[in-house]
Amino acid sequence: MRMLVIGPPGAGKGTQAERIAGRYGIPAISTGDIFRANVSQGTPLGRQAKDFMDRGAYVPDELTNALVLDRLAQDDTASGFLLDGFPRTLPQVSTLDDCLAEQGGALDAVVQLVAESDEVVTRLLKRAELQGRSDDTEDVIRTRLEVYREQTHPLVAVYADRGLLVSVDAVGDPDEVTERILTAIGGRVIG
């Protein structure tokens, strides 16, 4: 099973990706988590990524693509994976396409988590209080939403054209959202 989760910041991608990956017994790969781990360990990659992340901008494709190719080359992805937060740009889509073509694999589903801006801003401000992420301030949140709209939302149409898109309402109780996703994916994979 090869999947990815796409949606605006605050839609619950991280939480849902972990749960869905757990159900399918595949690794959830979050580029945001990998970048944050590098920042906190002060690695060269972390030092390069930090400034972009703090501003709510995307880390350049070159760095992000290299990181993902490296991660997808690890053995635990042999039976599948769930990408959380990648791809986010059209060049990243091409990189993933090429990587899958080389492996002789293909995506099974692209889960789009749908939530309005007001809803996700409220959630992100709440997360800021709980986790204190440096990119969860109100200004940076607005920038991240704008960047998502401009650079990532167009990917939804790309995957819809390929017949891979599964759109799920991400508003409501997280357990219910998980069930909605599992039902929607099950329907797609079987049907």
Which amino acids are annotated as binding site, given as ranges? 10-15, 31, 36, 57-59, 85-88, 92, 127, 133, 144, 172
Which amino acids are annotated as binding site for AMP, given as ranges? 31, 36, 57-59, 85-88, 92, 133, 144
Vertex 24 angle, CA 23 and 30, to 5°: 90
Question: Which amino acid is it at 30?
Answer: S
Q: Using CB under 6 A, which of 7, 32, 82, 178 touches ligand AMP?
A: 32
Q: Which residues contact 131 (CB under 8 A, 6 or more apart)?
A: none
Q: Is the peptide bond before 9 cis (omega within 30 degrees of 0)?
A: no
Q: Using CB under 6 A, which of 20, 58, 111, 164 touches ligand AMP?
A: 58
Residue 59 in the binding site for ligand AMP (CB under 6 A): yes
Residue 93 CA: distances (Å) to CA of 5, 10, 66, 88, 186: 13, 22, 13, 8, 24
Q: Where on the chain is the footprint of ligand AMP (CB under 6 A)?
A: 9, 31-32, 35, 52-53, 56, 58-59, 64, 85-86, 88, 92, 135, 144
Q: Which residues are catalytic?
A: 13, 88, 127, 133, 144
